[in-house]
Amino acid sequence: MLWLILAGTNRDEIIVGALAAALISLLFHGKVATLGSVRLTPKAFLYIFLYFFVFIRELVKSTIDVAGRVLSPRLPINPGIVKVRTRLTSPIARLILANSITLTPGTMTVETKGEFYYIHWIDIQAEDIEAATNAIVTTFEKYLEVIFE
């Protein structure tokens, strides 16, 4: 982003900036502990691309759901905190999962303890760990496993 502000929107400068960023990322990939779990495979790059669209889809679905609840005269909510489990082991993958949950309207990551996340859910649809995990975590997790694990 800083490169675009300083260089402007000249096509050649954007290409050089993107190549420089990619080269620096590849050179220092193994040196940064949190980035050490990122896979640099064609399948991982595909899943990074797909994750963006999956996140946008979930964002739109939950935004419409929350907007409907706000606009409803009776405000049909059943808020509470549920416990979910993640299979992810990479710290960066867990961070991205927690942030993806929080950025999706209607859910917010309150706390993480080991493999468990405590999520505030605007309308609890399942109280047991497995059903809540399937409803909240699984959609994001299957992509993050390919990218980071």
Percent of the chain whose pLDDT exceeds 90: 40
Q: Is 80 exceeded by the pLDDT of residue 68?
A: yes
Between the alpha carbon of residue 51 and those of residues 11, 22, 73, 94, the distances in Å are 27, 20, 35, 14
* pLDDT given at position 129: 87
Mean pLDDT over residues 126-136, rounded?
Answer: 86
* pLDDT given at position 2: 64
Closest alpha carbon to 81 in 107, 105, 57:
107
Domain definitions of the chain by residue range: 1-31, 37-148
Residue type at position 123: D
pTM exceeding 0.85 = no
Which residues make Cβ contacts (< 8 Å) with residue 26, sequence separation at least 6?
40
* pLDDT given at position 53: 95
Neighbouring-strand partners of residue 84? 117
Q: Is 70 exceeded by the pLDDT of residue 37?
A: no
- The two three-digit tokens of residue 11, written as one number: 């096509």
Higher-confidence residue of 38 and 1: namely: 38
pLDDT in tens, 92-102: 899 999 999 99
Backbone angles phi, psi at 80, to 5 degrees: 175, 180
Work out the pLDDT band at 41, boundaries 50, 70, 90.
confident
